[in-house]
Amino acid sequence: MAIKLSVFTQSHYSFEGMRPEEEVDIFLYSHWLIPVMKFIYYALLTALPLVPLLFFAREIVEYEIISLIFFVLIAYYMLLWSIMFYEFMIYLLDTWIVTNERILDINQISFFIRTTAELDLSRVQDISVRTSGFIQTIFDFGDVEIQSAGAVNKFLFRQVAHPQMVKDKIMKLVALVKEKPQNPQV
């Protein structure tokens, strides 16, 4: 039984600047393992201050610095929560979109800084896939690099799931675009 991945099915996504006859074929984020690994890291950072509290509980009570410790913990957890929220938002806003006409690379650098680059499928020259390391091989994710003839000569989809399938789907779309007769400009 074949597994049908929602990423590779026809969708009704829309985005700012979408052309009238354009349809989204692939909508990509980084692999799900990337935010999970970050979440595990932040979970460890959440538990980190509790270890000294257990060892020095008697001294904290004896010197009556519970209020100070409580204040420092609140500040620490608020900062940690803000950083986790920031990481999650950047993950969700950093996307790659492949339509039946072009490829868009939306790179969310920070909350208020975003770059968007686009490439017409007719300008795609070569696509390569790079999977490196044990983790990427086991979980089937890696980088997809697209060479173009445009001003931006490389598009890099970092750490996407099923990179070979993404490459194959883009190659099919490129072939379809190159088969279409070009409308002469008047």
Q: What is the pLDDT of residue 19?
A: 84
Helices (H) and strands (E) in the chain, counts: 6, 7
One-letter amino acid of 96: W
- The CATH number of the domain covering residues in 23-178: 2.30.29.30
Angle, CA 104 vertex, CA 103 and CA 110 arms, to 5°: 160
Angle between helices 33-47 and 66-93 (to 10 degrees): 180
Per-residue model confidence (pLDDT) at position 128: 95
**Residue 174, pLDDT above cutoff 50:** yes
Per-residue pLDDT tens digits for 22-57: 888 999 999 999 999 999 999 999 999 988 888 888
Average pLDDT, the chain: 87
How many Cα neighbours within 13 Å face the side chain of 184? 1
Which distant-in-sequence residues (6+ apart) come within 8 Å of 142 by Cβ? 129, 130, 131, 132, 136, 159, 160, 163
In a 3-state reduction of DSSP, which class is residue 65?
coil
CA dihedral 9, 15, 19, 24 (to 10 degrees): -10
Mean pLDDT for the stretch of residues 73-100: 94
Domain boundaries, the chain: 23-178
| Whether residue 1 has pLDDT greater than 50 | no
pLDDT in tens, 120-172: 998 999 999 999 999 999 999 999 999 987 666 788 999 999 999 999 999 99
**Other Cβ atoms closer than 10 A to 28:** 20
Once rounded to an integer, what is the mean pLDDT over residues 57-82? 91
- Name which of 133, 135, 94 is nearest 117 in CA terms: 94
